[in-house]
Structure 1
């Protein structure tokens, strides 16, 4: 669904003109143990029986899903626990069929971006068949931040990442529980934190991002992610730190309605993630710093990136371009400090000019794009 563009600024600098289009989210609650209140949340959004969407790891290796099922009691109407990485279309179709037969009137997605986007896609499919929207509640356990958007990304049978989009797909409630997050492996937790950083940085030069609240929230998010991700790595069993990071990730993609992609780093991530089975967070660890270096050569984008410098404990140089490179270097240092420095080679991505060109084409959707040659160079340097 395309949103009206008549109020848009048309400029990356939204300091004096822009539009904030509010998301239809109704409720966000956070704190340790908040997932125990899901029965109340279901009732608050008008539901009576909930169908859970999640992945195998959470269901089979942790007590998270069983605990939520028990807390829902008679309001639990079923669970689909086979959602795979990057939300494969086959899983979504199977879950849609089970949900349609369950008699449930609300979806609860538990996990990272794949279960959350899958629940949105299931709601979209049901609407296509019945004309009715099924509301969803998101209970994230990673920092990927699929829970604030109207976009539902999933993977086709050809391993291509595609999406559906509609304002009604935004989860009506988000529940952040720091205790649940302790079950998320540290490597997954901190790498998806870089995914969250990717959102915040790329929204700084997004043409639809308003100054208030989006960019101001992004700047605070960047500060908190640089502060709390290393602390969480050093103290992996600290549920309060995980709660603080949930708030940082919510701020990184603070709910607003937009269509289209977030930015070039995200486009690279979509081009390499599903195709080569690289996790969401790791794609951002690969793509964000080099993308920011590239953006430094664009004066309008570099000006917005330069605003980040004081939020990461650095001093502005007086040059927006130099400041953008400073931010890119700081991102690379953070990624390395968290233990996520990696390469495409480590994920067995084939080498050669043809593969680099294919990745760049998937990311930009055209070989005629002005950034095509630069992006091919970025991809080459990721090996």
Structure 2
């Protein structure tokens, strides 16, 4: 008889709680009724998951007559037009809870939908006024009304958005990704089911895992990090990197155990992020690379090693060397990781962090260049200009304030 583990994901926060150990339909039905006392549920489900598995059917069956509406499939990176469509549907069917079944874009959509409904934002100008996660928006954050439609997330990737009180949405016309933030935004319960996660295509699972690794690395390497954030980030790395390597090559019970370990590693990564440490250029450039059609996570696979190399070339060396050494030492201390590093010819005293990350990401079979994901040189100029507006490019270990700096990084990952 399976038993449930139910606890706060991150002890220093008020939400979300995590649930694992029960099949996801059973856990969801339990928490819809008993924990959140919801009666009208709107489901946002992954199209591929709905077409290729019985996951949505099982969820519908478990929730029964509580389901009042659903959306199957959303374009990656959360287009504003689709967010507004869903917001109108959720409002019109008087849903009091959104359940997401799928990866990070759906998680972000549910957050923005709830924020839009609470603030009567059902067109682009109204939504633009809520895009408060940037320095140029004059709207007082305290004037933004608190979302009242709650959420349960059932994630199938490792992007980690379930544990953040911010979301990203892409403007259909400019293709810029804008941030939305509110302390009460996001799921109250996150349900982790490694058996469900096993249906996720390997490329999505592994690449979003590297996104979580990116959270850890850029936290530790930030000039503004702190001991608590570093501790959580190192803990996350020690779960994520070996777990991803096992997921790449294993099946059955060993794979399920590794998938749960990766999911818990994501929580460690997000605990680090929640300490408020500004991240760096892998995230900053990646935010603008995503709307060009590059999947969640693949941006980190391409950019993170290159950003680490760029920072080593240009930063004040002593402090950054120490920070990057913290990450390298953590990786060299993991048996499964060391086997991969040594098999690929790396030596501990010679290889820098960019080299280690390059090997790990390549071992997972993930894309390592813009060419691999269909982004050509003609896109670089606009990509570099848009990246300069991202706050995390400005908080990189070497602040990116000029287009030529971004271009230097992009040139190294072009092919």
**TM-score by structure 1 length?**
0.84
Matched residue, 1:341: 367
Q: Secondary structure at 1:280's aligned position in 2?
A: coil
CA change 1:167–1:80 in 2 (3 A) is: same
Report the alpha carbon displacement of residue 260 of structure 1 after superposing the two structures with TM: 9.6
| Structure ranking higher on relative contact order (CA contacts 8 Å, 6+ apart) | 1
**Contact 2:219-2:277 within 8 A present in 1 as well:** no
Contact 2:24 2:154 (C-alpha < 8 Å) held by counterparts = no
- CA separation of 1:227 and 1:109: change in aligned 2, threshold 3 A: same
Residue number in structure 1 paired with 2:163: 148
What SS does structure 2 have at the residue aligned with 1:226? helix
User: Aligned partners of 1:290, 1:370: CA distance in 2, in Å?
Assistant: 17
TM-aligned CA distance change 1:223 to 1:56, over 3 Å: same
SS in 2 for 1:77: strand
1:169 aligns with 2:160: no
Tell me the equivalent position of 2:279. Answer: 262
Gaps of 5+ in 1: 1-19, 316-321
RMSD: 2.7
Deviations 1:85-112 (A, max 9, x none): 1111121111111111222211111211
Q: After TM superposition, what 4+ stretches of structure 1 lie above 6 angstroms from structure 2?
A: 258-261, 322-325
Number of residue pairs aligned between Structure 1 and Structure 2: 354
| Mapped contact 1:167–1:257 kept (Cα < 8 A) | no
**C-alpha deviations, 1:40-96, integer Å up to 9, x for none?**
222313423321112311222221111111112232222111211111112111111
Residue 38 of structure 1, CA deviation? 0.9
Deviation of residue 259 (structure 1)?
7.2
Q: Distance in 2 between matches of 1:284 and 1:174?
A: 24
* Aligned twin of 2:14: 24
Contact 1:206 1:263 in 2 (8 A): yes
Partner residue, 1:7? none
Q: 2:290 aligns with which of 263, 273, 288?
A: 273
- Taking the aligned partners of 2:23 and 2:51, their CA distance within structure 1 comes to 21
In the other structure, the counterpart of 2:71 is: 80
Distance 1:208 1:33 in 2: 40
The residue that corresponds to 1:5 in the other structure is: none
2:310 maps to 1:294: yes
Asked if 1:105 is matched to 2:110, the reply is no
Map of 1:220 onto structure 2:
235
Deviation, structure 1 residue 145 = 0.8
Q: Please list the CA deviations of residues 88-142 of structure 1 after superposition, one character each: whole Å capped at 9, or x if unmatched.
A: 1121111111111222211111211100000001011011129552111111100
User: Could you tell me whether the CA contact under 8 Å between 2:225 and 2:277 is conserved in 1?
Assistant: no
- Structure 2 counterpart of 1:253: 270
Q: For residues 325-348 of structure 1, what are the alpha-carbon distances to aligned partners after superposition, in whole Å with 9 as ceiling and x for unaligned?
A: 622211110110011133212333
- Alpha-carbon displacement from aligned partner over 1:308-357 (angstroms, at most 9, x marks no partner): 22211259xxxxxx9896222111101100111332123332315xx433
- Contact 1:51–1:99 under 8 Å retained in 2: yes
Structure 2: distance between partners of 1:342 and 1:313: 22
User: Distance in 1 between the 2:298 and 2:41 partners?
Assistant: 32
Determine the C-alpha separation between the residues in 2 that align with 1:107 and 1:208. Answer: 36
